Structure 1
Amino acid sequence: MKKDIWYKKPEMIVAFSALLISVVTTIIGIYSTMIDRSYARASVWPRVELYRSFSPKDGLFSYGIMNNGTGPAIIKYAKVTYNEKPIKKWSDFIAATNLVQSHIGIRILPSQANFSAVSIKDKTYLTEILKMDEQIAIELCYCSIYDECWMVDRSNQPIEIAQCEISDEQRFMQ
Structure 2
Amino acid sequence: MTEPATPQPPLRSSSRLFEIVIGIGVLVISVVSVFVAVNANRTQERILAASVWPSLMFGTSNASTEGAPQITLDLLNRGTGPARVRWAELLYKDAPVRDSDTLLSLCCGVPTNAADDPTLLSSGIQRRVIAPGEWINLVRYPQPDPVTPAWEALDRERHNVRLRACYCSVLDECWLLDSNRDDPEPVNQCPRTPGVLWGS
Q: TM > 0.5 between the two? A: yes
**Structure 1: stretches of 5+ with no match in the other structure:** none
Which residue of the partner structure matches residue 141 of structure 2? 120
Question: How far apart, in 2, do the equivalents of 1:167 and 1:152 lie?
Answer: 13
Which residue of the partner structure matches residue 93 of structure 2? 83
Per the normalisation by structure 1, the TM-score is 0.85
Of 161-170 and 65-74, the range deviating more from structure 2: 161-170
Correspondent of 2:191 among 158, 165, 168:
165
Does the CA contact (< 8 Å) of 1:50 and 1:64 recur in 2? Answer: yes
Which residue of the partner structure matches residue 156 of structure 2? 131
Q: Note the alpha carbon deviations across 1:69-112, whole angstroms, 9 max, x for none.
A: 11111111111112322122222232361211111122111111
Q: Which AA in structure 1 matches 2:131?
A: P
Shift in CA distance, 96/139, structure 1 to aligned 2, threshold 3 Å: farther
Using the TM superposition, give the Cα deviation of residue 141 of structure 1 relative to its aligned residue in structure 2, in angstroms. Answer: 1.5
Using the TM superposition, give the Cα deviation of residue 6 of structure 1 relative to its aligned residue in structure 2, in angstroms. Answer: 10
Pairs aligned (count) = 174
Does the CA contact (< 8 Å) of 1:96 and 1:120 recur in 2? Answer: no
1:54 pairs with 2:54: no
Which residue of the partner structure matches residue 129 of structure 2? 108
Question: How far apart, in 1, do the equivalents of 2:33 and 2:63 lie?
Answer: 62
Q: Which AA in structure 2 matches 1:33?
A: N
Q: Give the 5 Å matches for 1:17-28.
A: 17-28=25-36
Correspondent of 1:67 among 77, 80, 83:
77
Which residue of the partner structure matches residue 31 of structure 1? 39
Question: How far apart, in 2, do the equivalents of 1:11 and 1:157 lie?
Answer: 58
Question: How far apart, in 1, do the equivalents of 2:52 and 2:166 lie?
Answer: 17
Does the CA contact (< 8 Å) of 1:66 and 1:112 recur in 2? Answer: yes
Shift in CA distance, 51/7, structure 1 to aligned 2, threshold 3 Å: farther
Does the CA contact (< 8 Å) of 1:150 and 1:159 recur in 2? Answer: yes
Question: How far apart, in 2, do the equivalents of 1:167 and 1:47 lie?
Answer: 20
* Secondary structure at 1:165 match in 2: coil
* Secondary structure at 2:40 match in 1: helix
Question: How far apart, in 1, do the equivalents of 2:195 and 2:14 lie?
Answer: 74
Structure with the larger strand share: 1
* Secondary structure at 1:42 match in 2: helix
Using the TM superposition, give the Cα deviation of residue 12 of structure 1 relative to its aligned residue in structure 2, in angstroms. Answer: 3.6
**Structure 2: stretches of 5+ with no match in the other structure:** 1-8, 105-114
Aligned-CA RMSD value: 2.5
* Secondary structure at 1:93 match in 2: helix
